[in-house]
Amino acid sequence: MYTILDCYTDEPAGLGVPPYIGTYPRYIAGALKEKVNYITIDDLRTPHKPSLKTDITTYNKTNHNIQDIIKNTKELIVIAGIHTPGKYLSAVPGTLKEITELIKQFRCRKILTGPAGSIHGSRLEGGKLAEKVNLDIFDEIEENYLDTNNYSKIKDFAVKGAEIIKQHPSFPNTIAEIETARGCPRKKGCSFCTEPTKGLIKRDQKDIIKEIQALSKEGIKHFRLGKQSDFFAPTAKEIESLLKEISKLKPKTLHIDNINPASVTEEKTKIIVKYCTEGNVAAFGVESFDKDVIKANNLNSDPETTLKAIRILNKFGAEKGKNGMPKLLPGINILFGLKDESKQTHEANMHYLKKILEENLLIRRINIRQVVAYPNTPLYEQCKNKFIKKNKKYYWKWRNQIRQEIDLPMLKKLAPKDTILKDLITEIHDGNTTFCRQLGTYPLIVGIKERLELKKKIDVKITGHMLRSLIGGKI
Ligand code: SF4
């Protein structure tokens, strides 16, 4: 019996942390000749003592009898690896240290795959180096269990593997991460990024559509076309033909993720707004507005190009859709700890972020994280975490200034008091507050001051604002 153990993945292009299911477990399940069990790391963890706070380390359990699975598994395929550490509302990805401890109880062949099996390793917390753990417990470590990057082979695995979706803990409210391309179109990538080592290949649209059809048949209605480094890299015609076909399946959620600001055009933006669902966010890997840092790290966009792209997305995407959220907005990623970072870097970031606010432009969110210098990246070769160590003392202040002076006023513009947001899922409790959010890419988190039943769909009315989340009441 084969068992897939999902310890969750997060990469520059590709998310597999619940409520998302990544491509790895689905493709692998489709490649295996026998029926496969899908379990999560939450199934193996010991729950925390009961408290008023939801234990998110065991929130994503499957319905399997785990003791039976431990006894009967002949091959355990562990999927793990974090290359873009983040904070997750209702899940905690496994670290290699934790995983190696938890799988000792399996007496079978063990394989480590996914980003953690790559030359870059894995690290769950930003600002540190990749984990150094003895991995002798594994019989095989292989980034790519399928042993192929060839989409002509993957196309059948992707369709067949759709059947494991029903074992996912968030089902039917699972969001399937869909791959359209692999690697980065830029010849020389950004200093910190692990994508360029994957080479660049594009997936055939017919195969993408067949996979989405198979997932829809299994009951999945939420999709993010998030596994690619630049959704706008293809031509407008190509983007339109793909989205037009998918939209015929009437998904409840159809979102995208990464876009290179330099690829943004009015034509492509209009296509996304037309075919995707509202609440959509195009994440711009800005990383820094400081020209010295941009040059030293070979980043993909200069500040003026980014501003131009933000204006275009606002022009066509800022209008609100029926779930209460704007149709399409940009999101901005900022990275602390890049090469040549200085106090001037923060000043440049604040200058441009203020400019965005003053121009009355909307951005859905600013994602700030500390870089991890993964082995085999230019950042690792050139300076590892030298700039993190040098500037760490400023990070709280820098982050706080962005949260107070940019995020808060932005959130008030984006979802003013009395805004109605629809179809949020009640996800976790913290004391007497229930936190909920819509399904999709970077949804707003709303705190409601009562303990509501979890995993239910509700509508809310916004009553106030925190730095990065909203306060609301159930209606
Ligand atoms: S543009 Fe930069 S961050 Fe994006 S995938 Fe390419 S190398 Fe990575």
CA dihedral 215, 217, 218, 221 (to 10 degrees): 60
Distance of alpha carbon 316 from alpha carbon 182, whole angstroms: 28
pLDDT higher than threshold 90 for residue 254: yes
Helix axes 205-217, 236-247, angle to 10 degrees: 20
Whether residue 285 has its Cβ less than 6 Å from ligand 1: yes
How many angstroms does the Cα of residue 196 sit away from the middle of ligand 1?
Answer: 7
Same domain for 105 and 251, yes or no, is no
C-beta 261 within 6 A of ligand 1: no
On whether both 437 and 403 belong to a single domain, the answer is no
Q: Answer whether 290's CB lies under 8 Å from 331's CB.
A: no
Q: Tell me the pairing of strands 328-336 and 365-370.
A: parallel
**What does the chain come to in residues?**
475
- Considering the domain architecture, whether residues 377 and 430 belong to the same structural domain is answered as no
Where does a domain end: 366, 399, 414? Answer: 414
The verdict on the CB of residue 154 being under 6 Å from ligand 1 is no
Cα(13)–Cα(119) distance, rounded to whole angstroms?
A: 17
* CA–CA distance, 189 with 455 (Å, rounded to integer): 40
Mean pLDDT, rounded, of the chain = 96
For residue 258, the CA-to-ligand 1 centroid distance in Å is 9
Pocket test for ligand 1, best of 229, 338, 371 (most atoms within 8 A of CB): 229
pLDDT tens for each residue of 79-102: 999 998 888 999 999 999 999 999
Q: What is the mean pLDDT of residues 441-452?
A: 97
Do 438 and 367 share a structural domain?
Answer: no
User: Residue 335 Cα, ligand 1 centroid: separation in angstroms?
Assistant: 13
435's enclosing H/E stretch is strand 433-438
Question: Residue 149 pLDDT > 80, yes or no?
Answer: no
From the CB of 195, is ligand 1 less than 6 Å away?
yes
Q: Please write the tens of the pLDDT for every residue from 329-374.
A: 999 999 999 999 999 999 999 999 999 999 999 999 999 999 999 9
Whether residue 440 is contained in a domain is answered as: yes
113 CA → ligand 1 middle, Å:
22
- pLDDT for the residue 230: 94
**462 domain-assigned:** yes
Of 379, 371, 416, 425, the C-alpha closest to 395 is 371
Distance 306 CA to ligand 1 centre (A): 15
Residue closest by Cα to atom 1 of ligand 1: 300
In the chain, the number of structural domains is 3
Q: Could you tell me the CATH number of the domain that includes residue 251?
A: 3.30.750.200
- Please check whether residue 181 lies inside any domain of the structure: no
- Residues 407, 461, single domain; the answer is no
SS3 89: coil
Residues 351 and 425 in one domain: no
**Regarding beta strands 470-474 and 445-448, do their DSSP bridges make them parallel or antiparallel, or are they unpaired?**
parallel
Q: In terms of C-beta density within 10 A (0-12 exposed, 13-18 middle, 19 or more buried), how is residue 309 classed? A: buried
Q: Which residues contact 136 (CB under 8 A, 6 or more apart)?
A: none
270, 383: one domain: yes
Nearest CA to ligand 1 atom 4: 229
Q: Considering only 124-138, 240-254, 272-286, 431-445, which range has the smallest mean pLDDT? A: 124-138
Q: Give the Cα separation of 313 and 332 in Å (integer).
A: 13
Mean pLDDT (whole number) for 10-24? 95
Residue 211 included in any domain: no
Place of tokens 């991890």: 372
Whether the predicted pLDDT of 17 surpasses 80: yes
The CA 332 to ligand 1 mean position distance, Å, reads: 14
In a domain, 216, yes or no: no
Q: How far is CA 57 from the centre of its chain?
A: 18
Q: What is the mean pLDDT of residues 317-338?
A: 97
Contact 428, 377 (CB under 8 A): no
> Is residue 173, in this structure, part of any structural domain at all?
no
What lies within 8 Å, CB to CB, of 451 at 6+ separation is 429, 432, 433, 434
Contacts of 165 (CB under 8 A, 6+ apart): 21, 26, 171, 174, 176, 215, 218, 219, 220
pTM for this model (two decimals): 0.95
Query: What token pair was written down for 107?
Result: 């007496």
Same domain, 347 and 426: no
Cis previous bond, 19, omega within 30:
yes
Residue closest by Cα to atom 2 of ligand 1? 190
pLDDT > 90 in the chain, percent: 90
| Tens-digit pLDDT profile for residues 171-208 | 999 999 999 999 888 878 999 998 888 888 899 999 99
Best probe residue, ligand 1, of 186, 227, 306 (max atoms within 8 Å of C-beta): 186
Q: Final residue of a domain: which of 414, 446, 462?
A: 414
Q: Is the dihedral of CA 272, 175, 321, 352 positive or negative?
A: negative
pLDDT tens across 210-239, in order? 999 999 999 999 999 999 999 999 999 999
pLDDT at residue number 92: 98
For residue 120, what are the contacts with CB-CB under 8 A and spacing of at least 6? Answer: 83, 130, 194, 197, 374, 375, 376, 377
Q: Which domain holds residue 88?
A: 1-166
Cα 15 to ligand 1 centroid, rounded to whole Å: 15
Instruction: Say how far residue 266 (Cα) sits from the centre of its chain.
Output: 25
Do 235 and 337 fall into the same domain? yes
Residues 113 and 234 in one domain: no
Contacts of 51 (CB under 8 A, 6+ apart): none
Which contiguous run of DSSP H or E holds residue 413? helix 408-414
Residue 201 belongs to some domain of the structure: no
pLDDT at 153: 87
- Residue 186 Cβ inside 6 Å of ligand 1? The answer reads yes
Does 148 score more than 90 pLDDT?
no
Overall average pLDDT of the 91-116 stretch? 97
Boundary (domain end) residue, out of 371, 389, 414:
414
Whether 290 has a pLDDT exceeding 80, the answer reads yes
User: Averaged over 385-405, what is the pLDDT?
Assistant: 97
Q: Is residue 198 part of a domain?
A: no
Residues 401 and 257 in one domain: yes
The closest-lying atom of ligand 1 relative to the alpha carbon of residue 300 is 1
Q: Is 190 in the pocket of ligand 1 (CB under 6 A)?
A: yes
Q: What is the pLDDT of residues 409-431, one digit of tens each?
A: 999 999 999 999 999 999 999 99
CATH number, residue 432 = 2.40.50.140
Within 10 Å of residue 48's Cβ, how many Cβ atoms? 12
**Residue 65 C-alpha to ligand 1 middle, in angstroms?**
41
Q: Which CATH number does the domain housing residue 56 bear?
A: 3.40.50
434 shares its domain with 360:
no
pLDDT at residue 258 greater than cutoff 90:
yes
Q: Which atom of ligand 1 is nearest to the CA of 185?
A: 6
Could you give the C-alpha distances from 265 to 7, 198, 235, 259, in angstroms and in order? 38, 27, 10, 11
For residue 258, give every residue at least 6 positions away whose Cβ sits within 8 Å of its Cβ, in sequence order, or none. Answer: 12, 13, 226, 228, 229, 230, 231, 282, 283, 285
Q: If pLDDT is split at 50, 70 and 90, which confidence band does 293 have?
A: very high
**Ligand 1 site-directed mutation target among 187, 193, 294, most atoms within 8 Å of CB:** 193
pLDDT of residue 354: 98
Contact 283, 333 (CB under 8 A): yes
What spacing in Å lies between the alpha carbon of 300 and ligand 1's midpoint?
A: 7
